[in-house]
Amino acid sequence: MDTIKRTEIKNLFTGQAKEKVNQPVCVKGWVRTKRGNKAVAFIALNDGSTINNIQVVADVEKFGEDLLKRISTGASLRVNGTLVESMGKGQSVEIQASEIEIYGQADVSTYPLQKKGHTMEFLRDIAHLRPRTNTFGAVLRVRHNMAFAIHKYFNDHGFFYWHSPIITASDCEGAGEMFQVTTLDLDNLPKNEAGKTDYSKDFFGESTFMTVSGQLEGELGATSLGKIYTFGPTFRAENSNTPRHLAEFWHVEPEMAFYDINDNMDLAEDFIKYLVRYALENCKDDIDFLCKMYDNTLVERLNFVISHDFKRLTYTEAISILEESKHKFDVPVSWGIDLQSEHERYLVEHHFKCPVILTDYPKEIKSFYMKQNDDGKTVRGMDILFPQIGEIIGGSEREADFDKLLTRMKELNMNLEPYQWYLDTRRFGTVPHSGFGLGFERLLMFVTGMTNIRDVIPFPRYPKNAKF
């Protein structure tokens, strides 16, 4: 009997599974619950391939109380038996067990997962075991599908997957604090004549950091291969303590030659809608579970996004709406301010009640590389704002004019020396081009309905926490 080929549990619930009814099957997985009476035990088995459990029916007389007693929540099993149409309600098929092998028990007094009631905070403390829960199984399967869909979308649209470096010597766009990478002995640092640390003795011969963005290198790809995207981890050493920030997060950054700001917005909107649609079509069971257990408006919200145009307006128009709203904001609204969360939420959640794309921000509150408008005041940046999670995408048309870019960098007192390779893209054969950055975990928050970003990545990194 033990030579039957194993079937993954998800394949017992597909259309073809009907052929397997009344046939011998073998499944392997972990016990979610066991219940029953003196005569029969019902074991809900899950192998991670699907949110759905297969019900294993075990006659007590056949297997004996001693064996069944060792089967508790968390135990791992091989079960051989016959796939049959279920006598009970709640499942179409089940396995009438003929042979059960226990791979490993899970001591009920020390195994932390129970078949009921855990908070996200508790599960975060046992992040090494939480993928075994229904919720994290669902979230992580969605995560995989979204990662796959990102590659599929870009590949199908003629983009090339571009590997920007993780370790970098440049402080890209000054976007926040960086983690330093060094092999120097921190207890015995080499000093130069000025008494400062001598980085010429460091591994790379200069000071290096974990990247905060692959954009600048991405622009090198766009101005050679045409359309590229990066998809990898980036790092921010900010002391950010919020449900929307991680110190290590996955960043999707497409960069396109010959795209202006409108092409950029069209791409971003189509891209997000594609991903949401992909999730609805390919992760139905998992999303239905999350909808049922955490947020019964989730499916509705996802459907809304794919069926409505994102509202596009300029920063200046947004300021007018906020000024005329008569809503009392903690931070007063006036042209030139950086929009606060409360302002963005008012626009998205109260005024428009749909995703919003804001463009043409004051140049003072945006990065140096954004294309300057003719008005001399604004730049062609764009932010896509979503309900709950705020900024999900930030991007812009890039300044393609060498003189304008250089002037702006000098205005900001930037050290030009590390950017010479970047400026070469404008020195030689410069072209109009655009790009944006999508926070992968923020997308996942939206798609799964999870309200804390730490719960959409297997091993979250945030201040004071690098466990597992």
Site residues for RNA, 58-87, by CB under 7 A, read 69, 72-73, 86-87
φ and ψ at 327, to 5 degrees?
A: -75, 140
Which of positions 102-161 make contact with RNA (CB under 7 A)? 108-109, 112, 114-119, 121-122, 124
Q: How many CA atoms lie within 13 A of 350 on its CB side?
A: 12
Burial code of 327-362, b = ≥16 C-beta within 10 A, e = fewer?
Answer: eeeeeebeeeeebeeebbbbbbeebbeebbbbbbbb
Minimum CB separation of residue 135 from RNA in Å reads 11
Q: Is 98 a binder of RNA (CB under 7 A)?
A: no
Q: Using the rule CB under 7 A, which residue among 58, 216, 348, 438 binds RNA?
A: 438
Q: Quote the CA–CA distance of 400 and 425 in Å, as a whole number.
A: 8
Q: Which is nearer to RNA, 212 or 298 (CB)?
A: 212
For the residues of 63-127, what is the DSSP string, one character each?
Answer: H-HHHHHT--TT-EEEEEEEEEE-SSSS-SEEEEEEEEEEEE---TTT----SS---HHHHHHTT
Q: How far is the CB of 221 from RNA (least distance, A)?
A: 18
Single out the segment in contact with RNA by CB under 7 A; choices: 3-11, 21-29, 405-413, 432-440: 432-440
- Interacting residue with RNA among 22, 23, 35, 165 (CB under 7 A): 35
Q: Which 260-319 positions form the footprint of RNA (CB under 7 A)?
A: none
Residue 215 CB burial class (10 angstroms; 0-12, 13-18, ≥19): buried
In the complex, the smallest distance separating the C-beta of residue 225 from RNA, rounded to whole angstroms, is 22
Chain positions 207 to 266 lying near RNA, rule: CB under 7 A, are 213, 236, 238-247, 249, 251
Residue whose CB is less far from RNA, 249 or 419:
249
Residues 369-408 that bind RNA (CB under 7 A): 390-394
89 binds RNA (CB under 7 A): yes
Binding mask of the shown chain, residues 184 to 203, with x at each position contacting RNA by CB under 7 A: --------------------
- Indicate the residue among 165 and 243 with the shorter CB distance to RNA: 243
411 touches RNA (CB under 7 A):
no
Q: Site for RNA (CB under 7 A): which residue of 2, 19, 38, 193?
A: 38
CB 47 within 8 A of CB 104: no
Please choose, out of 15-23, 369-377, 424-432, 457-465, the segment that lies near RNA by the rule CB under 7 A: 457-465
Binding piece for RNA, criterion CB under 7 A, among 19-27, 35-43, 161-169, 261-269 = 35-43
Task: Tell me the closest approach of the beta carbon of residue 202 to RNA, in angstroms.
Answer: 26
Best CA proximity match to 45, nearest among 17, 26, 60 = 26
Residues 160-179 that bind RNA (CB under 7 A): 175-176
355 contact partners, CB below 8 Å, separation of at least 6: 272, 305, 308, 310, 311, 348, 384, 385, 386, 387
Measured distance CA(99)–CA(395) in Å, rounded: 58
Q: Within 324-353, which residues bind RNA (CB under 7 A)? A: 331, 338, 340-342, 345
C-alpha to C-alpha distance for 380 and 261, rounded to whole angstroms? 7
- Please give the sequence-ordered ranges of beta strands (E in DSSP) within 126-280, or none if there are none: 160-161, 167-168, 180-181, 208-210, 227-235, 248-257
